[in-house]
């Protein structure tokens, strides 16, 4: 069995993620290739597509939202993502077990304990049929049927029980940070696409096309699901297998090539939560264990990262003046110049009018 070294895995991942060469594909095709683009905060998917698509403009994604070709909702790992409407129809049912398990956590359990969840889901569907409502208003409509419960918590629970989406203007480019008054709508009504059944087979194959070669635990880390060994084993006759340098078995689609490990990799700036840095259990193909520990204290709030020679080399953040770059290790003169150049380009996209690039 062929053994793949770290640089081969790194370059292959970057190539499939459009991070070696920016692509000229339309934004919708890129979203489909990535399966789902992390969108915990609405502006981050725009940065994620900018770093992958040549000449990407804000309107390219905003137009997809307004014509309902993409949606924003809770899917992978119970977090917000942007994905094609037709992909949401099968992916949300597939990951529903990891979405709904949140209801057992104390944040919800203390408020919905004793409630018949089927009744709460039906009440939510009834309130939303024919309407788009902000969470606060949905909670007000649910409250009379579930007295002595927090209305907003009831509305949030319905989002975990039912496939809802966040219509514009919620997900479109705007002020940085989380948006207030999140609107919700029934996915089937909003997109016009019926929800499908769970499709683990498609999920694994689509994951491998975007993130492979990868192991079973990698697929589980990306999706949030467990017990995918049986699914992968059923697919084994259709897949190619490798091992990494640590002996872990990796699966891949047979028609997809591996990248040249010696190929140069340009500086790339990643948005917070980008799945290229979160999409594997073993993330050493793009970030060292030391750097993972370095960013761990702030990981839950999102740490935008940048790549040098294909690997995480530091973090970045927007400031009132411009962009602050925090290298984790010394940069050589040529590397620093390349980081400076890419940071300046990012500023022109993400924060027009700010022009200061500051190295910490």
- Are residues 166 and 73 in contact, defined by beta-carbon separation less than 8 angstroms? yes
- Are residues 272 and 44 in contact, defined by beta-carbon separation less than 8 angstroms? yes
Q: What angle do CA 43, 92, 63 make, to 5 degrees?
A: 40
Strands of the sheet containing 37-38, edge to edge, are: 37-38, 80-84, 70-74
Task: Encode pLDDT of 132-158 as tens digits.
Answer: 999 999 999 999 999 999 999 999 999
Q: What is the pTM of this model?
A: 0.96
Q: What percent of the chain has pLDDT over 90?
A: 95
Task: Encode pLDDT of 269-292 as tens digits.
Answer: 999 999 999 999 999 999 999 999
Is residue 1 very low, low, confident or very high in pLDDT (cuts 50, 70, 90)? confident
Which pLDDT value is given to residue 176?
A: 86
Contacts of 346 (CB under 8 A, 6+ apart): 47, 50, 51, 269, 323
């Amino acid at each position: 069995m062929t053994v793949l070294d770290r640089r081969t895995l790194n370059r292959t991942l970057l190539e499939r993620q459009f991070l070696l060469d920016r692509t000229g594909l339309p934004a919708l095709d890129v979203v489909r290739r990535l399966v789902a683009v992390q969108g915990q905060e609405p502006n981050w998917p725009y940065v994620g597509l900018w770093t992958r698509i040549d000449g990407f403009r804000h309107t390219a994604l905003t137009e997809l939202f307004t014509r309902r070709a993409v949606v924003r909702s809770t899917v992978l790992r119970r977090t917000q993502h942007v994905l094609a409407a037709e992909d949401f129809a099968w992916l949300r049912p597939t990951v529903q077990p990891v979405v709904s398990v949140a209801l057992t956590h104390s944040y919800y359990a203390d408020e919905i304990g004793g409630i018949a969840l089927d009744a709460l889901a039906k009440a939510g569907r009834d309130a939303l049929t024919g309407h788009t409502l902000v969470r606060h208003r949905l909670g007000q409509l649910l409250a009379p049927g579930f007295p002595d419960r927090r209305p907003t918590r009831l509305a949030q629970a319905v989002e975990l029980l039912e496939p809802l989406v966040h219509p514009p203007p919620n997900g479109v480019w705007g002020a940085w940070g989380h948006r207030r008054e999140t609107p919700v709508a029934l996915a089937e009504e909003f997109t016009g696409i019926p929800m499908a059944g769970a499709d683990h087979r498609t999920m694994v194959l689509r994951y491998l096309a975007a993130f492979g070669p990868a192991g079973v635990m990698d697929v589980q880390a990306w999706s949030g699901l467990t017990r995918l060994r049986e699914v992968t084993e059923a697919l084994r006759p259709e897949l190619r297998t490798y091992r990494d340098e640590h002996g872990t078995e990796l699966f891949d689609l047979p028609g997809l090539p591996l990248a040249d490990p010696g190929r140069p990799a340009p500086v790339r700036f990643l948005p917070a939560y980008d799945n290229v840095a979160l999409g594997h259990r073993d993330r050493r193909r793009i970030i060292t264990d030391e750097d993972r520990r370095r960013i761990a204290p702030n990981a839950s709030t999102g740490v935008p990262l940048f790549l040098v020679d294909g690997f995480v080399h530091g973090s970045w953040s927007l400031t009132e003046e411009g962009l602050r770059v925090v290298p984790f290790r010394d940069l050589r003169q040529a590397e620093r110049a390349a980081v400076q150049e890419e940071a300046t380009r990012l500023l022109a996209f993400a924060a027009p009018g700010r022009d200061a690039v500051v190295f910490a």
